[in-house]
A and B are shown apart, each in its own frame.
Chain A
């Protein structure tokens, strides 16, 4: 899978999580907005973490070199 496809997967997961939270914990517009903020923040953090590691490995400048004796 490429970068864009997995990013799309994260977006879908974020949307599904938002809808699930909305359905399961529906407690007025103020609380719903709060829950939405939490879900989106969590999704963004997780995506950033994944994206950073993925980008770093797309075109690496160094490669794994085994230790001597292996």
Chain B
């Protein structure tokens, strides 16, 4: 048993919440309401007691199917509303709460009504489109006949004139013959519309099929026409085909069908033409009125649906999730109750009790739900109570791995160390202020942004707004330390410590300044900027700084492993993991940090690389000019021996002690078995899974772990040098933009060039330094935390507490 907080006071966020496995026995009549109230509470993670059953075998499969049907109807409504341009109302009336049966009936009725309206509108629209086409045919073909008639009259007059002029003896006979021929031939015609892109092949095929014995005339309609069949706007031509004979007619009809040409009757009688046009126009007006009324009715119906759509969607999601949860429960038909098991935080016990009692009363159930805590060896899920500030930092840790149950949470120190390490790389108090303004904007607009949908990048930035704020604040601080405001130094905290050797300042560019005053009190001395020795100085400073910060954080990580071992009462890990690790790391790299501090304090010119290398290569030789303090050789010898001892110390004893521990536990298990025969249930529940202790496997695991730590100590220390690299890159880029863009533009003494220079400087600063560089520093800080810090103590092999909660149902959930 884990003694919670026996040695240490409890601290928020350091340990995950205490969890317990609970069992609920719920009467069937109040089960739905109980689960509903637990969903509102959102503090139980149910276990699936029917994992072996298929979805169709589960108790509430039919209810889920009904929910699916209702979801289909809601999707249909959504689609129709989108087409009609109706948007669902955002305000939701929570007053009227339908139960599932009422909702189902209502959705069914609304669907039927909507489908009926749609069908009626479709039919009317079809008829309307046909009449519209008919009207077009009447107009165009009427034009054909009028022009044809005019031409005929003209030709006849011309013919009569020729007859009079000729005056031949054969003229009367020819006229008689011609009239006879005309009377015998009776031409007929078919009129309609054809798609414009099909008009030419249509004409060609008709000509060939009838061997040229037809006359076809087409006219273009300027505006697109609504096709009665497809309902789409199409460019069409009006056509009229003159033919003779029934066989030719049947051919033409087939070709019209093949080309999808709609045919309409047409009378060659002029008075009938006018009458038909008048009738069609009248009917069109009537249909238009009817269609408009139908559309208004449909729009009204959709708006009514829109008022309730969001509420119905949410309620349906809830119902579906309730039934999915009920399907996880084990049903006992004879006792008429459901058995549920799940994890919940210990602090939620009283809340769950109240919820279950309320459900019992609301259902007027005779029997109340039973709530009891089960004992289990299972590892509980991990649950951290976070708020809007701490949740984003916890997400950073969780992305690496979910903490094992009650394992020390690196998120506690990450809240400070993560933005701090970011600032070490990003330090510039001008850029820090820009970042702070951006973060404050997101924080001030918090409520507005939280309620609306943002893009992917904006969503991430908004989620991390408190991280950005802390990163900005620390960046301002480290910017003051580095003494850079958009790369420009200032004498904010007093005069520079450096001055000229004499009044003429001739040596400033040869042997340089000398230190004439006490050390600059806060941050980097402003005199370094722009000098030839700036880079060597800053490189040396920042490399040593990286090592000091890195060794500090790694030590913090190892200390966290002590707290873990202490908490879980794992003495093996204290004495054979924590102690040798601390010794090893600090014998070498802790000693290096000490040397750095001593060198700075004394102004020694010792070469630290030399010292560290020859500490290993020839530890017994004299140090010579690299000696920093008295007794250094002896100390190095002792530290070297300690480091050498620490490695087998953390490798060898633990596997043997674990083996011994396992054997002792195995012997104890025998006694338990004898004792347990009295109570079969107790014996069954207490049965420990018989695990074989594989010594070789444990030893290999320990070997890998030891090698990883020893080599990791070297590579992780080197990894912290990225703090220097990123900081250098940021500083140099900033200087380049300032000197090469802004100062260069200023030097031209031109307003236009200056404005362009300022614009380019702003774009470069925002685009490169504030966006790309901050992302880069973020990622490197992330790496330093995930690998260099967390691998010292963090196992991260737990699983996250995922409660049944209605608030976790997002808009993206499929209905």
Contact = CB atoms under 8 A, between A and B. Distances in A.
A20 to B, nearest CB: 16
A45 B11 CA distance: 21
Contacts of A26: none
Contacts, number: 130
B531 A48 contact: no
B509 A70 contact: yes
Contact of B545 (A2, A38, A52, A62): A52
Nearest to B524: A53
B531 A67 contact: yes
A30 B478 CA distance: 31
A46 interface: yes
B412 A37 contact: yes
B417 A45 contact: yes
Nearest to B546: A52
A30 B498 CA distance: 50
Given A1-B521, A49-B481, A52-B544, A63 B514 contact: yes
A62 B415 CA distance: 37
Contact of A41 (B9, B416, B545): B416
**Closest 8 A/B residue pairs (Cβ):** A59-B603, A65-B512, A34-B12, A55-B600, A41-B416, A64-B531, A63-B512, A66-B509
Contacts of B424: 49
Contact of A64 (B9, B528, B545, B597): B528
B532 interface: yes
B548 A48 contact: yes
Given A59-B603, A66-B512, 4 more contacts: A34-B412, A45-B417, A59-B600, A67-B531
Nearest to B528: A64
Interface in B584-614: 597, 600-603, 605
Contacts of B603: 58-61
Contacts of B541: 52-53, 56
A64 B745 CA distance: 28
A67 B509 contact: yes
A6 interface: yes
Contact of A56 (B11, B518, B532, B544): B544
B725 to A, nearest CB: 17
A14 to B, nearest CB: 13
Interface residues of A, number: 35
Interface residues of B, number: 57
Given A66-B531, A70-B509, A42 B416 contact: yes
A46 B601 contact: no
Given A6-B521, A41-B417, A50 B498 contact: no
B510 interface: yes
Given A34-B12, A34-B412, A48-B548, A59 B532 contact: no
Contacts of B549: 48, 52
B646 to A, nearest CB: 26
11 contacts: A34-B412, A45-B416, A46-B477, A50-B481, A52-B544, A55-B601, A57-B519, A59-B602, A63-B514, A65-B511, A70-B508
Interface in B423-449: 424
Contact of B14 (A34, A46, A56): A34
A59 B548 CA distance: 18
A65 B533 CA distance: 6
A24 to B, nearest CB: 14
Interface string B793-806: 00000000000000
A52 B416 contact: no
Contacts of A64: 498, 512-513, 525, 527-528, 531, 533-534, 537
Most buried by B among A34, A38, A42, A57: A57
B597 A55 contact: yes
A36 B403 CA distance: 23
B18 interface: no
B554 to A, nearest CB: 14
A27 to B, nearest CB: 9
B444 to A, nearest CB: 20
Contacts of A65: 508-513, 531-533
A59 to B, nearest CB: 3
A57 to B, nearest CB: 5
A12 to B, nearest CB: 16
Contact of A63 (B412, B515, B600): B515
A31 interface: yes
Nearest to A29: B9
Interface string B478-514: 1001000000000000000110000000001111111
Contacts of A37: 11, 412-413
A2 B525 CA distance: 15
Contact of A49 (B14, B477, B530, B534): B477
Contacts of A56: 540-541, 544-545, 600
A61 B11 contact: no
Contacts of B544: 52, 56
